[in-house]
Chains A and B, each alone.
Chain A
Amino acid sequence: MALLAFRQRSGYLFVAVMLGHLLLISTQVSTRTGVPVVEQFAFGLLSEVQRVVSGVMLGTRRTWDGYVALRRATQENEDLKRRLAATEIQMQEQRALADRARGFAELLDLKQRTMLSTTAAEIIGGAAVPGFRTVTIDKGSRDGLRTDMAVVAPAGIVGRVVMPSARSAKVQLLIDRNAAAAALVERTRAQGVVVGDGEDRLLMEYVSEVADVVVGDAIVSAGIDGIYPKGFVIGRVEAVEKNGPAYRKITIRPAVDFSALEDVLVVLTPTPAREPSGSE
Chain B
Amino acid sequence: MKAAGVILAVAAALALQTTLAWFVTRGTVAVDFVLVAVVYVALTTGPTAGLLAGTLGGLAQDALTSGGIMGIGGVAKTIVGFVTGIVGTQFIVVQSVPRFVVFFVATVVHQAVFIGLYVLLDARHFGTPYAGVAEQAVGNAVVGVVAFQMVELLPGAMQRRRAGKRRPQR
Contacts and interface: CB of A to CB of B under 8 A. Distances in A.
B66 A132 contact: yes
Contact of A25 (B20, B71, B125): B71
B149 interface: no
Contacts of B75: 18, 21-22, 25
B64 A36 contact: no
A197 B129 CA distance: 12
Report which residue of B14, B63, B65, B82 has the largest number of chain A beta carbons within 10 angstroms of its beta carbon.
Answer: B63
Given A10-B51, A39-B70, A135 B22 contact: yes
A39 B63 contact: yes
Interface residues of B, number: 53
Contacts of B19: 50, 53-54, 57, 124-126
Given A10-B51, A178-B125, A132 B67 contact: yes
A252 to B, nearest CB: 16
A47 B65 CA distance: 11
Interface stretch (A98-106, A169-177, A236-244, A268-276): A169-177
A64 interface: no
A1 interface: no
A24 interface: yes
Contacts of B5: none
Interface string A1-18: 000001101100110011
A235 B4 CA distance: 48
A162 B48 contact: no
B84 interface: no
A251 interface: no
Contact of A126 (B18, B63, B74): B18
Q: Is the interface of B mostly helix, strand, loop or mixed?
A: helix
A127 B27 contact: yes
Given A17-B55, A177-B124, A197-B127, A128 B61 contact: yes
A68 interface: no
Nearest to B55: A17
A206 interface: no
B150 interface: no
A122 to B, nearest CB: 12
A50 B64 contact: yes
Given A21-B78, A260-B26, A49 B65 contact: no
A43 interface: yes
A210 interface: no
Contacts of B127: 177, 197-198
Contacts of A18: 75, 78-79
Contacts of B34: 128
Interface string B1-34: 0000000000100110111111100111011101
A130 interface: yes
B162 to A, nearest CB: 30
- Return the 7 tightest CB-CB contacts between A and B, nearest first: A126-B22, A42-B63, A128-B64, A24-B71, A25-B71, A259-B26, A128-B61
Interface of A: 6-7, 9-10, 13-14, 17-18, 21-22, 24-25, 28-29, 36, 38-39, 42-43, 45-47, 49-50, 53-54, 57, 123-136, 162-163, 170-172, 176-178, 197-198, 258-260
Given A57-B20, A57-B23, A177-B127, 10 more contacts: A10-B82, A36-B70, A46-B63, A47-B64, A123-B22, A129-B64, A134-B66, A162-B67, A177-B124, A259-B28
23 contacts: A17-B51, A29-B69, A29-B123, A39-B70, A42-B63, A43-B64, A45-B63, A49-B11, A125-B18, A125-B19, A126-B22, A126-B27, A129-B32, A129-B65, A129-B68, A133-B27, A134-B66, A170-B64, A177-B126, A177-B127, A178-B67, A198-B127, A259-B26
